[in-house]
Structure 1
Amino acid sequence: MTVTTAAPAPAPALRAARIPADGIYEGPRVLRRLPEGWEERPYDLFDVAPLARTIGAEIRGVDLSRPLTPALREELDRALLEWKVLFFRGQHLTSERQRAFARNWGELETNPLLATGTSADVARFDKAEGAPVTFENVWHTDVTFRERPALGAVLQLREVPPSGGDTMWADMAAAYDNLPEEVKERIDGARAVHDFIPGFARFYGPERLAPFQERFPPVEHPVVRTHPVTGRRMLFVNASFTTHITGMDRDESDRLLRLLFQQAHVPEFQVRFGWQPGDVAFWDNRATQHYAVNDYGSHRRVAERVAIAGDRPR
């Protein structure tokens, strides 16, 4: 007797899966905090408490109201390069001491488009009930519309809401590392135009902005910046000030910039800080973007920031 067996049923055809068009892929990320070949050494003058994998650390055991010794300044500078944003709890600095701390890294810059506090180089952000829309809810790198964008900034919260009002920072070296190779090939060597008008048009009318057009004409910067100290390659475009990629069709430029802007939104590249009165954040503006979260309704939030003049991106 012959026994026949049924042929196995054919496997069902697998429907096509959508490959993300924005460069944001699922799965593990490349989360490299330090440059290749960087010698990591212990800190002798303070403790470092990391808040995220590649970016953000709380510095404990430092009183910023006192002048920095050369050794302490050197260690803090190394921590800034390694963690990109440093947090100091409960400092309660006067405006002058905040300015003095920032001056350890260079001359301070002024921004005439911002409200000022005790001096022209102290920007004051005072959000309360009935206040106009303020500089929040957008990822950006400060003043990339300048030929020499700020090296860094020191922000202190004077008054915080009962809940909310956090600030987030994104590591733009990690953002670059995780781009698809074909995207890296398209942007390496490319340049983009930065302009102050798109970033400030949300807050001010033409009569306020027009007088500054001659002082701040559009500038070009590399799409991928090399950090002048660490040598890391970093994305250097942002949704507030980058308008288009030089020499590229406008539609293609817009599509590519949307992809690049999206990199700041990846949670693995971010750190989020919840403020208490008197807390200070010090960040490397060359290597990061940041985002002030406006989720505190009618409550008041008061901050003061000083910015450190920077160099021309390369």
Structure 2
Amino acid sequence: MNQLVREFRAGVLSLTPLTPTIGAEVSGIDLSEPQDAGTLSHLRGALLDWKVLFFRDQDITTEQHLAFARAFGDLEVHPFAPSKPGYPEVLAITHNENSKGRENIWHSDVTWRERPSLGSILRAVEVPPVGGDTLFSDMYAAYDGLSDEVKARVEGRVAVHDFAHFRRGLVKAGKTPQEIESFNRAYPMVEHPVIRTHPETGKRAIYVNAAFTQHIVGLDKDESDALLAHLYAQAAIPEYQCRFRWSANAMAFWDNRSSQHYAASDYFPAVRRMERVTIMGDRPV
């Protein structure tokens, strides 16, 4: 079999890559059932290799969604985004004629946390007839593609991350200065490496993103802005990407430590309803 279109098999589990380095579709698995240790180990290894795994036709309950995610670690509660009633760990992401999609920016989830997430598992509840794809970008490949000059400039640098756009949403929603200050104390700005070393693979990845990174420490504003703009632009290079077209009951499980993603908001005013569960990670190094 062609090395770039190889399949991975563990029992009846099959993994078919979408591109040479990022994205693979998993078949032969029913996520409504508890997975044994061997299957979970294979899935974790596949996630490390391919950065994002896709599953189709998974008609599961919220409890089963949560149980699958918990097999990979503790779950976080997002302090700003709306949750599904009765399920604080489940983000309810709905867009329609009254709410245009806003996730159309390359990012890694919650990098404003001291311990950003390991990964996220997103389930499609209702999808538009066309559009609403999610794109994923390989941040290992993005780092490897940098020039030696840029690699030298970012070596050892750290950048500040903040929940700035959520703060603007809090202001718009009418939160008082005292309420906003309580969020500032709970989630102070944090510094993370510009280039992160993955804790499980040891590979290096670009770890700044246009959604949450504010500036690079030790550089003046103009130099920081220019360098960040160059680093952000790497996610948009097609050779580093895969693209997933959603269908009802499809799921995506991505590694936030080695990838960024972008939800195409091209389906307005159609409905797109998704539910996301996020697994806690560790402090980037």
Q: TM-score range by the shorter chain?
A: over 0.9
Is it true that 1:205 corresponds to 2:168 in the alignment? no
Return the offset for 1:218: 0.3
Return the offset for 1:130: 1.4
Measured in 1, the distance between the counterparts of 2:157 and 2:192 equals 9
Return the offset for 1:188: 1.2
Is it true that 1:306 corresponds to 2:272 in the alignment? no
Match of 2:242 in 1: 271
DSSP 3-state at the match of 1:214: helix
TM-score w.r.t. structure 2 length?
A: 0.92
Deviations 1:77-128 (A, max 9, x none): 1100000000000102211100100001100001110000041100000111
Match of 1:107 in 2: 74
Match of 1:43 in 2: 9
Measured in 2, the distance between the counterparts of 1:41 and 1:91 equals 21
DSSP 3-state at the match of 2:136: strand
Deviations 1:213-236 (A, max 9, x none): 111110000000000011110000
Q: 1:141 to 1:60 in 2, by over 3 A?
A: same
Q: Give the aligned residue type for 1:301.
A: R
Match of 2:197 in 1: 226
Match of 1:146 in 2: 113
Measured in 1, the distance between the counterparts of 2:45 and 2:252 equals 15
Q: 1:277 to 1:231 in 2, by over 3 A?
A: same
Return the offset for 1:64: 0.6
Q: Give the aligned residue type for 1:124.
A: A
The structure with the greater share of residues assigned to strand is 2
Measured in 2, the distance between the counterparts of 1:270 and 1:303 equals 22
Show the 5 A alignment for 1:30-179. Answer: 42-45=8-11, 46-117=13-84, 118-131=86-99, 133-179=100-146
Is it true that 1:295 corresponds to 2:266 in the alignment? yes
Q: Give the aligned residue type for 2:98.
A: G
Instruction: Determine which structure has more spread, i.e. the larger CA radius of gyration.
Output: 1
Contact kept, 8 Å, 2:8 with 2:15, in 1: the verdict is: no
Q: How many residues in Structure 1 have an aligned counterpart in Structure 2?
A: 274
Q: 1:204 to 1:129 in 2, by over 3 A?
A: farther
Match of 1:280 in 2: 251
Contact kept, 8 Å, 2:208 with 2:232, in 1: the verdict is: yes
Q: 1:160 to 1:147 in 2, by over 3 A?
A: same
Return the offset for 1:43: 3.1
Measured in 1, the distance between the counterparts of 2:44 and 2:197 equals 18
Return the offset for 1:41: 10
Q: 1:281 to 1:190 in 2, by over 3 A?
A: same
Return the offset for 1:201: 5.2
Structure 1 alignment gaps of length 5 or more: 1-32, 34-39
Is it true that 1:187 corresponds to 2:154 in the alignment? yes
Deviations 1:206-258 (A, max 9, x none): 54482411111100000000000111100000000000001111110000000
Contact kept, 8 Å, 2:77 with 2:88, in 1: the verdict is: yes
Indicate the RMSD between aligned Cα atoms, in angstroms: 1.7
Match of 2:213 in 1: 242
Structure 2 alignment gaps of length 5 or more: none
The structure with the greater share of residues assigned to helix is 2
Contact kept, 8 Å, 1:43 with 1:75, in 2: the verdict is: no
What fraction of aligned residue pairs are identical, expressed as a percent?
Answer: 50
Deviations 1:252-306 (A, max 9, x none): 0000000000000000101100000000100101111111111011111000000
